A and B are shown apart, each in its own frame.
Chain A
């Protein structure tokens, strides 16, 4: 793989660092809100609620990452 254009070179002025700080705060806020485990009402949130209740990890990308599909370590 290769880049189609130049990467974003370092340009660390006060404005740029402020943008990074705002981004970090937004990301932290998002993760904090997600961590509260809010789910949409009705059918849209049914899978999320089931995952939370049963402690299901829905993130694995490949079958070997699904704990319940692999032999007990």
Chain B
């Protein structure tokens, strides 16, 4: 990349286009939330046995104090017909704070199916208060009309296509050729999401990133990727735009609410592990690719796939390096999710310490919450808090790594020290958008939405939850499809380099486990601070 193009770089370079497109989506999301238009980015819904369920939204009503023994799908199947239990759901959202959590509850119904009076009566039979019966009656009324998402998906396809086609055109490529390939990339992303949204697949922790890569690799390693399809596979543009949107999800105000103990586990251990893994990979294992080392280190110590994507883009890594790091983190996340809770229970470790240990070491957030949930409520609270604080660190990490790469790692040691201008020319500009989005959302938008916890909630619900988060996931999903389409197994195998990346991951993760358990005992186990009195 050259920043020496002057002002023309603003519309000729992919990094800047990621910033414009990302901020375009963010501004649209704020306008939608500000004016209360109620528009949401369409997503593929959870489905169990009927695949078409994936393309219909749910209707929901608020409820409180729903009976404890009727909250899981499994328990509901025991008391109402399996068909009704399949369509009805209880869900809750939890606001985690250092001292515990507050819970809000809701009941939902799959809008693909009209709720019959027999369904309503069966569910009312479970109610323990008049408020429950009123809520179920409201749900019954709302569940008389279906809410398909097909139309929304087409609108999303067209909207994103127009934005990216404009960018592609101004960067000197043919918009029409891009659009044809883009449609199939989007269709493959829908398929990847559709597979991920199956109930059991979600329980196994097999995310869209895996399926998107598999689908892309399946095409590229059998018939090969046609040129017209490759034209729509704009990996970098999708990833960088998605990262700008991810920046908006990093709200610094959350750290204050989540508390200082999590910082001890997440923010002191994490930099130590990144540094240790980098030195181990480059000096002990003598791995040729420093970019691969830093991606694996970030994925292991911060938050798996998201951190790998952010770091890979910041250091301009090869696509197969990102694929390898993502593959390893996906495999080890599942192994740690199933292995850590039974181990923690077997050795009699305190729930809070166990939760902090898992929150600081299991890579993906969903897997952390699932593993914590098995151990108990206290473990789930602490695990989620530690992981959320670690998630927020992704912005700092991407920035520091980008600066270090430009000023130290990529610098010719014999060349004179680069000027500030030279550093700016080489600096990945989308990182500026990534940080700007985080700062604007944290320090301007939250106060504009009421400030404090209410402001954080409003921004998370109406802007991030309704629009940008799902948009970002679609972009990452299309990026992984594109990476798969551009990779082949031989290249991936060559990245293994005698198994060194796996050795790096295993040694780094072991170091992470040791350091994190010590920090967990210090912060939650009474070594330095007393355990948190849970509400």
A associates with B? yes
Contact yes or no, A7 B373, CB < 8 A: no
Set of chain B residues within 8 Å of A73, measured between Cβ atoms: 40, 461, 465-466
| Per-residue interface assignment for chain A, residues 1 to 44, with 1 indicating a CB less than 8 Å from any chain B CB and 0 otherwise | 11111011111100011011001100100010011110000011
Partner of B222, one of A20, A56, A72: A20
| Per-residue interface assignment for chain A, residues 32 to 70, with 1 indicating a CB less than 8 Å from any chain B CB and 0 otherwise | 001111000001111110111111111111111111111
Contact yes or no, B225 A69, CB < 8 A: no
Q: How far is the CB of B20 from chain A (nearest CB, A)?
A: 20
| Per-residue interface assignment for chain B, residues 1 to 23, with 1 indicating a CB less than 8 Å from any chain A CB and 0 otherwise | 00000000000000000000000
A31, closest chain B residue (CB): B195
Contact yes or no, A12 B223, CB < 8 A: yes
Q: Does B523 contact A (CB under 8 A)?
A: no
Set of chain A residues within 8 Å of B320, measured between Cβ atoms: 3-4
Q: A10-B225, A19-B222 are in contact. Are A67 and B207 (CB under 8 A)?
A: no
Task: Give A1 to B323 CA distance when docked, in angstroms.
Answer: 12
Contact yes or no, A59 B466, CB < 8 A: no
Q: Does B235 contact A (CB under 8 A)?
A: yes
Set of chain A residues within 8 Å of B96, measured between Cβ atoms: 69
Q: A1-B319, A4-B320, A10-B225 are in contact. Are A46 and B218 (CB under 8 A)?
A: no
Describe B's contact surface by its main secondary structure.
helix
| Per-residue interface assignment for chain B, residues 190 to 232, with 1 indicating a CB less than 8 Å from any chain A CB and 0 otherwise | 0000011011111111111100001100111111111100100
Set of chain B residues within 8 Å of A71, measured between Cβ atoms: 93, 95, 104, 457-458, 460-461, 465
Q: How far is the CB of B364 from chain A (nearest CB, A)?
A: 5
Q: Does B337 contact A (CB under 8 A)?
A: yes
Q: How far is the CB of A12 from chain B (nearest CB, A)?
A: 4
Contact yes or no, A66 B220, CB < 8 A: no
Set of chain B residues within 8 Å of A51, measured between Cβ atoms: 202-204, 370, 373
A16, closest chain B residue (CB): B223
Set of chain A residues within 8 Å of B72, measured between Cβ atoms: 53-55
Set of chain B residues within 8 Å of A59, measured between Cβ atoms: 196, 201-202, 205-208, 364, 366
Stretch of B127-135, B305-313, B410-418 with 4 or more beta carbons under 8 angstroms from chain A:
B305-313
Contact yes or no, A70 B365, CB < 8 A: no
Partner of B337, one of A36, A58, A66: A58
Contact yes or no, A45 B338, CB < 8 A: yes
Q: Does B367 contact A (CB under 8 A)?
A: yes
Q: Does B141 contact A (CB under 8 A)?
A: no
Set of chain A residues within 8 Å of B388, measured between Cβ atoms: 63, 69
Set of chain B residues within 8 Å of A8, measured between Cβ atoms: 220-221, 224-225, 487-488
Contact yes or no, B365 A60, CB < 8 A: yes
Contact yes or no, A3 B214, CB < 8 A: no
A32, closest chain B residue (CB): B198
Q: Does B53 contact A (CB under 8 A)?
A: no
Contact yes or no, B306 A62, CB < 8 A: yes
B365, closest chain A residue (CB): A63
Q: A2-B319, A35-B201, A71-B461 are in contact. Are A10 and B224 (CB under 8 A)?
A: yes
By Cβ-Cβ distance, the 7 closest A-B pairs, closest first, are A60-B366, A51-B203, A58-B205, A20-B222, A53-B74, A43-B342, A58-B370
Q: What are 25 residue pairs bridging A and B, where the CB atoms are less than 8 Å apart in the complex? A: A1-B239, A1-B313, A1-B318, A4-B491, A7-B485, A9-B224, A20-B218, A23-B218, A23-B222, A31-B195, A44-B342, A47-B338, A47-B370, A47-B374, A55-B89, A56-B370, A61-B304, A61-B365, A63-B387, A64-B460, A66-B384, A69-B384, A69-B388, A72-B93, A73-B465
Q: Give the interface of B toward A (CB within 8 A).
A: 40, 46, 49, 60, 62, 71-75, 89, 91-96, 104, 106, 195-196, 198-209, 214-215, 218-227, 230, 235-236, 239, 246, 249, 303-306, 312-313, 316-320, 322, 337-338, 341-342, 364-367, 369-371, 373-374, 384, 387-388, 391, 457-458, 460-461, 464-466, 469, 473, 485-488, 491, 494
Q: Give the interface of A toward B (CB within 8 A).
A: 1-5, 7-12, 16-17, 19-20, 23-24, 27, 31, 34-37, 43-48, 50-73
